[in-house]
């Protein structure tokens, strides 16, 4: 299975690396990190760069496309080369997926019209302008071959769900154990529904900074 | 706060990127990815490389040291330059931390003698040879300034726990909401205690492959 991950400046690292850590372990999976140009791509927090091993024009198809989000998403929404690449690869995929604000890129490429989708809670209201129907209560939203995840860490749940569909429950469960994914967050403030108003304000201040 | 992350060939990406996504968001945090040489370092699944922005001899201190694990750990245990660097930086830290088999590197550097620690379930029995006392039931183990996490994804829980201690509960909770860490794994096989014998065998086969 060929998996293409789109990288761009100021993406959020965990959006891509969480799903990668799961999907790359499916027997037979081949992952290629792809960006406008080959070479290191800086993430939003600037102290981390991930290497793109292929330029967009070197990848014209994939069984699974993964589009991460991040503050850099906005700049991609108006980039015809990126949107055209997403559309072209999407025409070849079995699964087209996103994490966090990556769903806005799928939307801008015209892929989510009339579809249910999700995104990071901070940008969920950006989906309707692309004709998508945002759902704020589900962490992973499947609509046909389109699978979108909520913010950042939700990509791990997305990838395990997809792995079950692609390779079967036994393989997905074995990969869950391999990455010891038995989460025990020390706080219960991981969603808008669970966080206090003070925590939500604190998160918005961090987002703005 | 200066955070140094040790990279080496065949480390596991999520071991480093999970905690990074949390710790880098602490106001004032500066993270430097460090390896034997500057440049891209390939992870265990080979299709991902993360850039080391500093060589070991360019970083001689940190407030927090993070050592990820992975199949490449074993080769580091006999590398005097790496172990000497870990010891030297540890002499300057407020927190010395590891994820997954990274605790074996702390152990080989002589830092875990007589201390409680944890690691990936597959290598937990490697800790006693360094005088550490393995604990297989806790996901995050704190003993003095040494904080070790279980396998791969446990680094996210480690980082949120540390963030609470470093920057306070309110900041840790805001970061948890920023990365929307409200995990909903589609299966309940993320630990040896929860997985079935068949899933454990499946994970061991994947590990060996």
What pLDDT sits at residue B39?
Answer: 97
Contacts of A195 in chain B (CB under 8 A): 173, 177
Contacts of A103 (CB under 8 A, 6+ apart): A67, A69, A112, A117, A118, A119, A127, A132, A148
Q: Do residues A43 and A50 make contact, with C-beta atoms less than 8 angstroms apart?
A: yes
pLDDT digits (tens, 9 = 90+) for B153-195: 999 999 999 999 999 999 999 999 999 999 999 999 999 999 9
Which chain B residue shows the shortest CA-CA distance from A207? B178
Contact between A48 and B200 using a beta-carbon 8 Å cutoff = no
* H or E, element range at A33: strand A30-35
Task: Pick the closest to residue A97 from A42, A181, A31 (CA basis).
Answer: A31
* In chain A, residues 59-98 whose CB comes closer than 8 Å to chain B: none
> Residue A186: which region, alpha, beta or left (left: phi > 0; alpha: psi -120 to 50)?
alpha
pLDDT digits (tens, 9 = 90+) for A65-86: 999 999 999 999 999 999 999 9
pLDDT digits (tens, 9 = 90+) for A35-61: 999 999 999 988 999 999 999 999 999
Nearest by CB to B200, from A18, A154, A177: name it.
A177
Q: Is this prediction's ipTM beyond 0.85?
A: yes
What pLDDT sits at residue B9?
Answer: 97
Residue B65 resides in a domain: yes
DSSP-based three-state secondary structure for B54: strand
Nearest by CB to A185, from B30, B176, B195: name it.
B176
CA separation (Å) from B178 to A19, A121, A150, A194?
Answer: 18, 9, 11, 13
Q: Do residues A144 and A115 make contact, with C-beta atoms less than 8 angstroms apart?
A: yes
What pLDDT sits at residue A208?
Answer: 87
Contact between A45 and B51 using a beta-carbon 8 Å cutoff = no
Q: How confident is the model at residue B208 (pLDDT cuts 50, 70, 90)?
A: confident
Contact between B31 and A25 using a beta-carbon 8 Å cutoff = no
Counting every residue written for chain A, the total comes to 209
CATH at A34: 3.40.50.880
Contacts of A200 in chain B (CB under 8 A): 177
**Sign of the dihedral defined by the CA atoms of residues B151, B154, B156, B159, in that order:** negative
DSSP-derived letter for residue B125 is G
Report the C-alpha gap between B196 and A135 in whole angstroms: 34
A&B contacts, CB < 8 Å = 255
Residue A6 phi, psi dihedral angles, 5° rounding = -85, 125
Q: Do residues B179 and A45 make contact, with C-beta atoms less than 8 angstroms apart?
A: no
Counting every residue written for chain B, the total comes to 209
Which chain B residue shows the shortest CA-CA distance from A47? B31
- Which one of B42, B137, B185, B186 would you mutate to disrupt binding with A, by most A Cβ within 10 Å of its Cβ? B186
Task: Pick the closest to residue B160 from B186, B130, B140, B137 (CA basis).
Answer: B140
Q: Do residues B152 and B99 make contact, with C-beta atoms less than 8 angstroms apart?
A: yes
Residue B207 resides in a domain: no
Report the number of distinct structural domains present in chain B: 1
Residue A70 resides in a domain: yes
Contacts of A196 in chain B (CB under 8 A): 173
What pLDDT sits at residue A29?
Answer: 97
Active-site residue, selected from the candidate residues A3, A66, A100, A105? A100
What pLDDT sits at residue A123?
Answer: 95
CA separation (Å) from A160 to A19, A133, B44, B62, B188?
Answer: 8, 24, 19, 35, 11
What pLDDT sits at residue A136?
Answer: 74
Residue B189 resides in a domain: no
pLDDT digits (tens, 9 = 90+) for A90-148: 999 999 999 999 999 999 999 999 999 999 999 999 999 999 999 978 999 999 999 99
pLDDT above 70 as % of chain B:
100
Residue B35 phi, psi dihedral angles, 5° rounding = -150, 175
Copy the structure tokens of residue A127.
Answer: 């989906």
- Which one of A186, A192, A198, A206 would you mutate to disrupt binding with B, by most B Cβ within 10 Å of its Cβ? A186
Q: What is the mean pLDDT of residues A148-169?
A: 98
Contact between B195 and A180 using a beta-carbon 8 Å cutoff = no
Q: What is the mean pLDDT of residues B100-126?
A: 97
Residue B137 resides in a domain: yes
Residue A51 resides in a domain: yes
Q: Do residues B154 and B148 make contact, with C-beta atoms less than 8 angstroms apart?
A: no
Inform me whether the C-beta atom of residue A173 falls under 8 Å from chain B C-beta atoms: yes
Inform me whether the C-beta atom of residue B169 falls under 8 Å from chain A C-beta atoms: yes
Residue B209 resides in a domain: no
- The CA distance from A29 to the nearest CA of chain B, in Å, is 10
Contact between B49 and A51 using a beta-carbon 8 Å cutoff = yes
Report the C-alpha gap between B10 and B70 in whole angstroms: 6
Contacts of A157 in chain B (CB under 8 A): 183-186
Residue B141 resides in a domain: yes
pLDDT digits (tens, 9 = 90+) for B56-67: 999 999 999 999
Range of the domain at A76: 2-184
Q: How confident is the model at residue B79 (pLDDT cuts 50, 70, 90)?
A: very high
- Which one of A100, A160, A182, A188 would you mutate to disrupt binding with B, by most B Cβ within 10 Å of its Cβ? A182
What pLDDT sits at residue B209?
Answer: 80
Nearest by CB to B190, from A171, A182, A191: name it.
A182
């Amino acid at each position: 299975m060929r998996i293409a991950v789109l990288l761009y400046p100021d993406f959020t690292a965990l959006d891509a690396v969480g799903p990668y850590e799961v999907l790359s372990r499916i027997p037979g999976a081949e992952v290629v990190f792809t960006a406008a140009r080959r070479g290191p791509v800086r993430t939003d927090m600037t102290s981390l760069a991930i290497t793109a091993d292929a330029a967009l024009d070197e990848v014209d198809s994939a069984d699974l496309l993964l589009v991460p989000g991040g503050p850099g998403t906005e700049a991609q929404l108006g980039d015809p080369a990126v949107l055209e690449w997403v559309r072209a690869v999407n025409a070849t995929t079995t699964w087209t997926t996103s994490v966090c604000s990556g769903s806005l890129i799928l939307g801008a490429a015209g892929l989510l019209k009339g579809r249910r989708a999700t995104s990071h809670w901070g940008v969920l209201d950006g989906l309707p302008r692309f004709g998508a129907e945002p759902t704020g209560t589900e962490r992973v939203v499947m609509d046909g071959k389109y699978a979108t995840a909520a913010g950042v860490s939700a990509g791990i749940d997305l990838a395990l769900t997809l792995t079950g569909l692609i390779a079967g429950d036994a393989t997905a469960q074995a990969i869950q154990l391999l990455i010891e994914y038995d989460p025990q967050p020390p706080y219960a403030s991981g969603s808008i529904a669970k966080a206090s108003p003070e925590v939500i304000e604190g998160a918005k201040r961090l987002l703005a900074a």
